[in-house]
Chains A and B, each alone.
Chain A
Amino acid sequence: AQTVTQSQPEMSVQEAETVTLSCTYDTSESDYYLFWYKQPPSRQMILVIRQEAYKQQNATENRFSVNFQKAAKSFSLKISDSQLGDAAMYFCAYRKGGGSNYKLTFGKGTLLTVNP
């Protein structure tokens, strides 16, 4: 079974600084997707970034980028120029490739605090 591990229950960062959230996963599949979702206090799950396993290039979305190390099964999220609005719970998730009915496997989450 696939597992996703987020080893940092909590992290903090100063506003405008950079922070990296860690995520490792375990799978025997070759076709899969990895995601970072953000859950602010409103509890709305928001997609931050997604990565296809077959792509070697790391995904980026504005201030958010990932370091995808396929051999090491590592998928870290870097937030640059942190803003107060980035404060949230961040979940790393894995999904097997294929049809739309494959489920997500979530990590336990990392609570990010942004200090002004």
Chain B
Amino acid sequence: GAVVSQHPSWVICKSGTSVKIECRSLDFQATTMFWYRQFPKQSLMLMATSNEGSKATYEQGVEKDKFLINHASLTLSTLTVTSAHPEDSSFYICSASGRVFTDTQYFGPGTRLTVL
């Protein structure tokens, strides 16, 4: 149990375009989902926390208008990188915790974003 998927696993886009990343909990209801960014050889940096049906809570320094997060259902959260630029290139990881697994986050496999 506790499987989280992400799609796509990698994406290349042109500067100025928007990219949407999906995070799904496959076998449990995720009341809370988290979005992280990870640079090479570094730890995970939390970007935002989203609760189903509510607006996301962003960490300090994360641009809300650039990184749009939607958590419309108990199994799906999306991260949209708007007007992407090369500095947005990174590895994005989602995680989820839910009604059964309330105290543990389970992670998706991540999405590598490259902006040309």
| A contacts, CB < 8 Å to B | 33, 35, 37, 42-47, 50, 52, 91, 95, 97, 99-101, 103-104, 106-109
Is B103 close to A, CB under 8 A? Answer: yes
Specify which chain B residues have a CB less than 8 angstroms from the CB of A100 in the assembled complex: 31-32, 97-99, 101-103
Q: Are A101 and B44 in contact (CB under 8 A)?
A: no
Using C-beta atoms within 8 Å of the partner chain, give the interface range for chain B: 20 to 34
Specify which chain B residues have a CB less than 8 angstroms from the CB of A109 in the assembled complex: 42-43
Specify which chain B residues have a CB less than 8 angstroms from the CB of A46 in the assembled complex: 107
Q: Are A97 and B103 in contact (CB under 8 A)?
A: yes
Q: Are A101 and B51 in contact (CB under 8 A)?
A: yes
Q: How many A-B residue pairs have CB under 8 A?
A: 58
| B contacts, CB < 8 Å to A | 31-32, 34, 38, 42-44, 46, 49, 51, 91, 93, 95, 97-99, 101-107, 109-110
Specify which chain A residues have a CB less than 8 angstroms from the CB of B101 in the assembled complex: 100
Instruction: Kindly state the separation between the CA atoms of A52 and B102 in the bound complex, as whole angstroms.
Output: 13
Which of chain B's residues has its CB closest to A104's CB? B105
Instruction: Kindly state the separation between the CA atoms of A46 and B110 in the bound complex, as whole angstroms.
Output: 12
Instruction: Kindly state the separation between the CA atoms of A47 and B95 in the bound complex, as whole angstroms.
Output: 11
10 closest A-B pairs by beta carbon, nearest first, are A45-B107, A100-B97, A101-B32, A100-B32, A100-B102, A106-B43, A44-B109, A108-B43, A43-B110, A100-B31
Q: Are B49 and A101 in contact (CB under 8 A)?
A: yes
Instruction: Kindly state the separation between the CA atoms of A35 and B42 in the bound complex, as whole angstroms.
Output: 18
A103's partner among B31, B46, B91, B98 (CB-CB below 8 A) is B46
